[in-house]
Structure 1
């Protein structure tokens, strides 16, 4: 437990001492930190969940507590009840029963996928709980494996009302309409669109995504960035379960595809109807208008339109082509060598995890610029962080020829006196042989040379002949200022962590600090411009000043490096998100796509 968590535990324990004896940390999620506690009044063990302090700052506490208490009336065997909530020492908390067992996420991490019978039973129990809640007018909005607890074969939904409470409290406090609360892997298209009237069919979509994951062992959509993931949910064909697992009967495949339909009206009317269709081949299924990927085309990154027309559709296709579909190229048996860079393990303080992520991400980016390599996206790789699966299992699941794994330890009190130790191994999946053992300790300022050196040695070990532009890209150094680079990496970590306003604003602050330290850091300027535009797109700040900042940062990035694809992407998103100027946006995004390594 880090120092911040210890302080939070002490603060919570002191504030709740008359009602609960808080004993230890249970876990941390995107919205809350969870503690085990004894309920002193009722002699029972409970889980006390505390909203992250940075989220607390962005919502109105009274409105949040009022909204969360609407879920207290839910009484169903497959819904974990809300026992208590309040504000303790400026910490917003809520209390639920402690459930012995594991989360569905833990089960999937351990087993990979579920049997057909187990998956059908769990889905039916979740659907039963959702159906009850929906009939009372309450939508969960954040259905995901982490929010499903399994105990003695019994599934219960947790955190009911939390996402809605955050939505409503934030809307009241920020005087805005709509926000993309949820977990990107499971968010429905209407959530991505920030639709104002989300209903139970949004939860059904998330349950359909979870059903796919339970049966296949991986999520239905993956992309290297949240933006690319959004486009997959909005426009990509619905994946076929039976194409990936032959034993899945067609009626289950159709039921899951129906639950995952892009348009709410194409889904089942209720979650109960979805569960019934999973169990019975004769159940009624709505007529679907969204396409399902045929078995032969399941792995192609093909895009189909949902609601976009004309210039808007063309623009979506351009963004999709840039934002992630290009990372994993479509290849035949004799195509490029397939490789994945797994998340490097941070061996230093937990507060420096962003730096280890930055090292592995940068190696991924450099290797992705090599035309004869097919590099799996970061989003697909990050699911294996902390996994107990063997490298052979991971390689087989990702269908890659080689894996790179590594560790990073950063030591020192300041950048000028710090050192970084990096180890990594290039492993051939077929036989487990280590082709490249790499181990070096160098000054922190040499981290760029380390990243370039690893990428260069990997291509040499794989006997890849590099073109001159590829050699230049492998050796590129984005900045000469290591402190600016650290802030840039922290900005990336905040940007990818969530779309909550505190995280987006944190990303902005880090990117701003990076460019303050190095006025010539083009990539940081590009990310700064894009994130200002993102603040507008998320409706966190609709002022003219926000768009002026977006345009100025993007223009600065283009001026510094006209050949930087990220700079033209930022400018394109300014025109698209900020001004709805499709012609200008398409011009910049076309340039971004042309400049991105293929």
Structure 2
């Protein structure tokens, strides 16, 4: 390792020279190519790579010189570090590893020497040769030639030359965390073989034996990270990071003392004899619970809402505890819909667990016996394939079915508490049955994205029970999705005044919606992040990704989407997941991964023409003209393809080619778009069709035609500010400065609520078209402050392209972040 001065950029850098043995095994071309890939790792906890090359047969790579010391130096001075500091640094390292693993890069040599401390944070160094080593290992080069790692920290499978994935880094990080806490690595020995033998035994002194003040949750997290078999470890560095952050939080009081205080011991003990002995679970990873919709076995369909009501009331109670990860009712309802459609032979408990990512599953059923109803429920550990316990059956009058819910929730939460050794909260009076009936109908419609009937049902639920706040929250979602922002804001104000009646999860959704309406992207992002942390497999995680993308943070958006499975849960069969994932990859320049995601989307949605758009963007960015022609032919040949969809596809290709500096190649695609939009059929003779024709005409230089179309559109719909901005830009291009200035001033002065910066954005485009770059910069900066969201069109906008090189465009465009 050499300290050097980068003369071109006037900065100090570190140059690392590869061991000649590795250099011979890897080869110069592969090394340089793979260093280039590794150089894309841009993360706050990873030391970036600047350059690489070969001089006199020696391979080297260049990285920034990091002021400070490495972790080894700190351990030599302090031996044992404060627990809070250890957990914070460990979580940061895990975050960096999770990012690298998502790119297919395993570090293979996590140790104190490769962890640099700068300004109180830890950075991972030396990602330089990991991927090159991996590839070389697959080309008839023996593992002995390429053993990368340090015996005290490498995993058993790495020491044995086995196939590696991110879990080997999890093991190494576990060793480092252990050493930070105790002053010594968990496994020692005089030779590498002796160290490996100890690791394979799986025996080492627990951290609490050496340092009793360490929380038990930390001990459990380390035990899992240091498991001999990779399958027994955390599945990812991200999961390890989550467990460390949970372990860092102070624990609440013990359960049974609380139960005694509120008189719920009886409820907790009211379980049938089949309940197994309580298991004290101290894992740092909290269990995830899903409450299935209770089956109606009464023979009377009028009791169907009771099954939803029971599930939602128990779910809401568990969410209030904050002690377990609870699958939201909406996610459980969506899963139930998919499972009903499949109606396979799989055990329903296992199927629900698989669909929602839960390990514990609450199921139940409703029976009728003359004039009484019987509600029965049980808790199963789907992962272990065993029944945890069942609550004592609850009888209630058929005319007052809601009376059973309070007992049901108290007993189920007591059963969960005894099983998990966690706290619960006191049960409250449930809403009226009539209110829940309406709420159930609303949720069914909401899942179908049928917002009109959903809204009517939610408002009916609120009218039936004015203490029931949750339907109003969902009503606000309906108004938001229908772009009726003023009414959504009014409804949210009512909900906010009664926020204490919402669960913690729903309060985060309330805060998210309020921040979205206010155009406060940072607050919206924080709120929906908290909701996603409480329910990682729910739609909250998707919404976090969407907000992150709109806030010009494509990598967090990509990472969040990667945590969701497109095969189960709310993302199953949902095209927007793939569209957002490919968009996030696109703006990061990850066009190979983008193309893979786009093609998977088209495979899953073969009859949806919009599924061709992500692939078209990726191919255009990669300049794959032949494949673009094949894609165009396939889309145009679809029986269900209409002119507007085909025109949109062609316009998308043209815009991307323009953005990637293929302006001459873009024109034929704009011509195709124009012809498709100009067919004059009933599909294109709509606002959407005329808008497409106007934009294509403008790109082809048909400015007068585009202007006339834009004027007509703006006159027909005054709410579409993009029409107004479009007309203003064209007025400038046609030399009508007076008209352009008139529209610019009109937009700049527009202070209506809930426009989220769009008037200033459109005014900024007109100013740019007029050549007034200073005024354009001011207006666009104002738009961003007011919450104007990032759009894919930013980097391919021919007007904004005039601002390239200016700071404002870098702020607006996620490409430059």
Name the structure with the higher strand share. 1
Say which one has the larger Rg. 2
Q: Which has the higher helix share?
A: 2
Length-normalised TM-score, structure 2: 0.30
> Which structure carries more relative contact order (alpha carbon 8 Å, separation 6+)?
1
Normalised by the length of structure 1, the TM-score is 0.40
